[in-house]
Structure formats: C-alpha cells, structure tokens
C-alpha cells in the first residue's frame, strides 16, 4: 500500500471529517463498500466504520490510530477508490490495478492546508453536539437500504426511503434494536436462543429482531410472536413464508394462558396493554429468562387502587393521579423483578415527542452466584402506604 494513502487519511481523520466512502471493490462478495464517519463516544473522538458485506452491514468504532492500521486490509488489492468529504474540502484517491495511488485534494476557498490540521482532544459544545447528533441518526436499519418486510409493513418505500407517516415507527424499531444490541453479551451464543414476543401486534419489532439477529448478525435464534388477533397472525405468517424466515413463527394466543414453551432466553413485550405486561413478566420469571425487555402500556390497574390519605391533596387531580399511577406501576414492577434475581433498569425507550409510552423495563438475570431471591427494602411497606396490590406481585406470590 502506498504511503500517499496513509498520509491522506492521517490528514483527514479529525473533527472536521464529514464522511468517507471507500468503493470500487474487486471482490464485492467479500466487502462491497465501506463508509466512515466521526462520532463521539464517552467524550472521545472515534470513527464509525460501516462495512457492506452482501445484504449485511457491520458497524465498528475505532480511534484514528487503529483505523490507520486497517487501511492495508482494504487497499492491498481490494478497493480502488476513496472519496473523502471534510468541512475544509474534498479528497479523492484512485488506485490502479497495480496499486498506484493518484490523490486529488480540493480545498475550500480561503483555507490554508486545513486538511492537515489534526483534531484536538477538546471540542466546542456545538461540535460535540453535532457529532452526538450524527450518532443518534446512525440507525441499525438504515434508510436508503430497502428491507423487504419494512416495505410490506408500510414503513419503507421500494427504494428504501422511510414513509413520512411511519418515521416515528422507524425510530421506535431502531431504538429497540439498540437495546437488544446492548444485552447480547448476556446471552449464551453457543446455542440456539429462544425469543418470545408477547403481544406482537403487526410485528414490526418481531421481524426487525429476526432480521437483525439472524440475517445481519448471524445468530442462531428461534423467535415466536404471540397475539390475539387472528388476521394479524395470518398476515405475519404469510410474510415469514415469503422471506423464508424459517425460525420465525407466529401464533394466535393469550399471554395469560400461553404454555407452549418450557424454556425461553429472552422475553420481549412492546406496548402490551395494562396487566398483559404483568403476565408476560411473570412468564419470563417462571422460565428464568436471561433477558427481559418490556415497554408497558395503559397502566390502568393502580389508578383504581391507590388510596392514600397523605396524598389526597394531589391525587384528587385526575390527570396527576393517572400519571403517578403509571409511573408507580412500572417502578413496582422493577422492584418485584429485583426480588426474583434480576438487575433492573428503567430507561427512556424513545423521546416523548414520538410516543408517550416511553419507559423501557430492562431486566438481566444476575450471575449464578447472586441468583437467589433478594428482598427489596421497603417494598411491602410502600405498597401498603399506597394501598395497592399490583397484579405482578400477586402472580409472583402464587408461584411460591
């Protein structure tokens, strides 16, 4: 590999980089193209590399020095063209079949060799905000790349553009996939994983999970989607046959009475209504599921139960009582899962601007040495103070 290629990257891998595209591959089955862009991770500048391999896209983040080391993998007979765009200008590299590199740099007016300025470790607030903003826009399922099931479900057009009316749904799907990506280290990847999606509905997320884990990541998985609506289940089953998703199955059934599985690795619920979430959580605990990802919906149960003399002055306002009851419901669910050996977080699923149903319960089974049930300090007293008896508490009590 010519030193000229290294020098161009050394000059352009900084905070002013907008993006780079490495293309004209001699082996498109190996890697068709590569895209590079800057991102901020924990306050430091990194470069996200997206490798397009077949129908899959693989993302990795590197500091500039490690990225420079990878250049030899790409430019010793594989790629023959690079286009680099910076705030300060553009650079193009053409590599002949014999490996000879021709470099062309075009600087913006009134700039003096600015491409040679390396980034510092200090960023202005605007610069860091911009890079963080770019990171948020980098979805796991990318716009512009047609995905069959998203087209059939009305989220994408045939050319891969997002249907305007479904932009919130597209963000929702990608956000959930990010949370799934976070919990993969907690799952046993040496065997086939069983994932159950309770209340799958139209199954945007169910198909997305399968596509991400099975098609993009190559994991051995089996996913089951369960819902009460026969017409929805029929349509989703037709799509699985259309795309050959042989490890994705849909069944008509009720969360509360489902008993078709003896062991499940991950339980997912997206907007299961009211106590349906509790039955799903109870099933997950019963199976000893390693991971639970639940976005509850319509938390009405405690709104009709709360009776607390101390809080009467504020609970007399209906809208306040309703919102408090919803938050208390999910907080108690988290504490109850803690008592069953899970480490639980309550996270913002997606911005309130896109959906008010935005709390994610993420629970991961604790290690073998700490799986014994633990008592949550003050949980019983808290429920007594509020005068509530949550459905999940009753279901878990019945297990004993």
Predicted structure pTM score: 0.65
Residue spans per domain, the chain: 3-137, 166-399
Can you spell out the DSSP letters for 46-82? EEEEEEEETTEEEEEEE-HHHHHHHHHHHHTTTEEEE
**Residues in the chain where the model's pLDDT stays below 70:** 1, 108-138, 350-357, 368-377, 399-400
CA distances in angstroms from 26 to 10, 55, 81, 96, 154, listed in the order given: 24, 17, 11, 11, 36
Angle at 149 between CA 146 and CA 150, to 5 degrees: 60
CB atoms within 10 A of CB 345: 12
CATH topology of domain 166-399: Rossmann fold (3.40.50)
């Amino acid at each position: 590999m010519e030193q000229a290629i290294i020098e161009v990257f050394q000059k352009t891998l900084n905070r002013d980089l907008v993006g780079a595209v490495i293309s004209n591959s001699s082996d498109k089955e190996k890697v068709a193209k590569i895209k590079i862009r800057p991102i901020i991770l924990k306050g430091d500048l990194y470069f996200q590399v997206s490798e397009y391999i077949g129908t899959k896209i693989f993302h990795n983040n590197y500091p500039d020095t490690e990225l420079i080391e990878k250049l030899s993998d790409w430019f010793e007979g594989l790629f023959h063209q690079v286009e680099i765009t910076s705030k300060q200008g553009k650079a193009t590299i053409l590599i002949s079949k014999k490996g000879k590199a021709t470099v062309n740099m075009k600087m913006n007016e009134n700039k003096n060799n600015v491409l040679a300025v390396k980034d510092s470790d200090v960023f202005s607030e605007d610069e860091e905000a911009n890079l963080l903003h770019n990171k948020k826009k980098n979805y796991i399922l990318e716009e512009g790349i047609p995905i069959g099931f998203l087209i059939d479900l009305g989220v994408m057009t045939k050319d891969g553009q997002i249907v305007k009316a479904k932009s919130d749904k597209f963000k929702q799907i990608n956000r959930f996939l990010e949370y799934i990506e976070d919990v993969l280290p907690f799952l046993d990847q040496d065997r086939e994983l069983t994932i159950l999606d309770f209340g799958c509905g139209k199954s945007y997320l169910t198909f997305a999970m399968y596509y991400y884990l099975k098609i993009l990541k190559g994991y051995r998985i089996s996913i089951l989607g369960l819902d009460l609506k026969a017409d929805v289940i029929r349509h989703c089953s037709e799509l699985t046959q259309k795309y050959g998703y042989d490890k994705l199955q849909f069944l008509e059934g009720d969360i509360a009475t489902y008993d078709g599985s003896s062991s499940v690795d991950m339980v997912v619920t997206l907007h299961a209504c009211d106590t349906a979430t509790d039955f799903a959580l109870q099933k997950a605990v019963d199976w000893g599921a390693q991971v639970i990802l639940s976005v509850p919906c319509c938390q009405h149960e405690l709104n009709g139960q709360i009776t607390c003399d101390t809080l009467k002055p504020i609970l007399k306002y209906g809208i306040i009582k309703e919102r408090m009851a919803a938050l208390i419901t999910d907080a108690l669910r988290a504490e109850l899962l803690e008592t069953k050996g899970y480490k639980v977080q309550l996270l913002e699923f997606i911005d309130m601007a896109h959906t008010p149903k935005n709390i994610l319960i993420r629970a991961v089974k604790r290690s073998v040495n700490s799986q014994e049930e633990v008592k949550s300090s003050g949980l019983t007293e808290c429920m007594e103070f509020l005068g509530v008896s949550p459905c999940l508490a009753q279901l878990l009590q019945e297990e004993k």
